[in-house]
Amino acid sequence: DTGVSQNPRHKITKRGQNVTFRCDPISEHNRLYWYRQTLGQGPEFLTYFQNEAQLEKSRLLSDRFSAERPKGSFSTLEIQRTEQGDSAMYLCASTHVGEGNEKLFFGSGTQLSVL
Amino acid sequence: AQKITQTQPGMFVQEKEAVTLDCTYDTSDPSYGLFWYKQPSSGEMIFLIYQGSYDQQNATEGRYSLNFQKARKSANLVISASQLGDSAMYFCAMRERERDDKIIFGKGTRLHILP
C-alpha cells in the first residue's frame, strides 16, 4: 500500500492551455474524490467516482473541467482553456465504501499555476 | 447555505492547554458521518477522528475527542494538552449517506500553539 499518488506535483501553464492531472488511489479503494483548495480555504468538492461511475460533478464547475476513471482504478482530471482563476491545489482522495467510517486518504496534490 | 460552518478562522492557544474547535453542520439526512482533518503547513491532509450520527458515544482518538451534540448539530473537536506540533489548519467534514453520500469540508480553523 503506497498511498494515494498524484502526478505531477506541480504544473505551470499559460492561460488558454489544457492540463491533465493523474491520480492513482490506494488499490481496492472503490471511491475516488477530486477537490480543489486555495490558500487558507477548505477543500472544495469537484467530483467523485464509485468505481468507474462518476456520481456527481459540482454545479460550480464549468464545462472546461472533466474527469474520468476509466477502469475504476486511476483517475484523470482535465482542465481545458485554463484561466488564472484555476490556479489552486488539486487534491485527490480515495476510500473504500462499506468498511465503517470510510475516512478519506489524500494524495499530496497537484499545484497548478496559470500564468 | 453553508453545510459545514467553522466560525473560528484563527485561534491562539498556549501550549499544554486544551482547545476546542467549533463545527456546526446542516443536514436533514438521518444517517451521516462527521470527520475532522488536520493540515499542517506541509500540506498533507491527516485524518483525526470520525463520528457517526448513530454512534451513542462521543468519539475519542488519543488526545482528540469529538463533542457531538446532535440536537444542536454541533461536532466540536477537543484537543487535550496541546503541543506545538498541533499548529495547523483543522477542517470539519460531513458525509450525508442518504442524500448524495459525498464528503464536503468546512472552511477550516487555523490553530496556533504558543510556547
| pLDDT for the residue A100 | 66
Radius of gyration for the alpha carbons in chain A, expressed in angstroms and rounded: 14
Closest among A8, A29, A106, A26 to B40, alpha carbons compared? A106
| pLDDT for the residue B35 | 96
Mean pLDDT to the nearest integer, B17-26: 97
B68 CB-near residues (< 8 Å, 6+ apart): B34, B51, B55, B58, B59, B74, B75
Secondary structure class of B42 (helix, strand, coil) = coil
- Tell me how far CA of residue A11 lies from CA of A39, A44, B102, in angstroms: 16, 19, 27
| pLDDT for the residue A101 | 64
A44 touches chain B (CB under 8 A): yes
Q: Which of B42, B103, B107, B111 is most worth mutating to test chain A (most A CB atoms within 10 A of its CB)?
A: B103
Residue numbers in A near B52 (CB within 8 A)? 101
Mean pLDDT to the nearest integer, A15-33: 96
A53-57, A75-79, B45-49: the lowest-pLDDT one: A53-57
- What is the phi/psi pair of residue A86, to 5°? -80, -10
* B29 CA: distance to closest CA in chain A (Å): 17
Mean pLDDT to the nearest integer, A42-68: 92
Cβ <8 Å between B103 and A33: yes
Three-state SS for A29-62 is: CCEEEEEEECCCCCCEEEEEEECCEEEEECCCCC
Residues A33 and A55: their CA atoms lie apart, in Å, by 10
Using a pLDDT cut of 70, give the percent of chain A over it. 97
Residues A27 and A13: their CA atoms lie apart, in Å, by 31
Q: Are A115 and A13 in contact (CB under 8 A)?
A: yes
| Displacement of CA B17 from its chain's centroid (Å) | 18
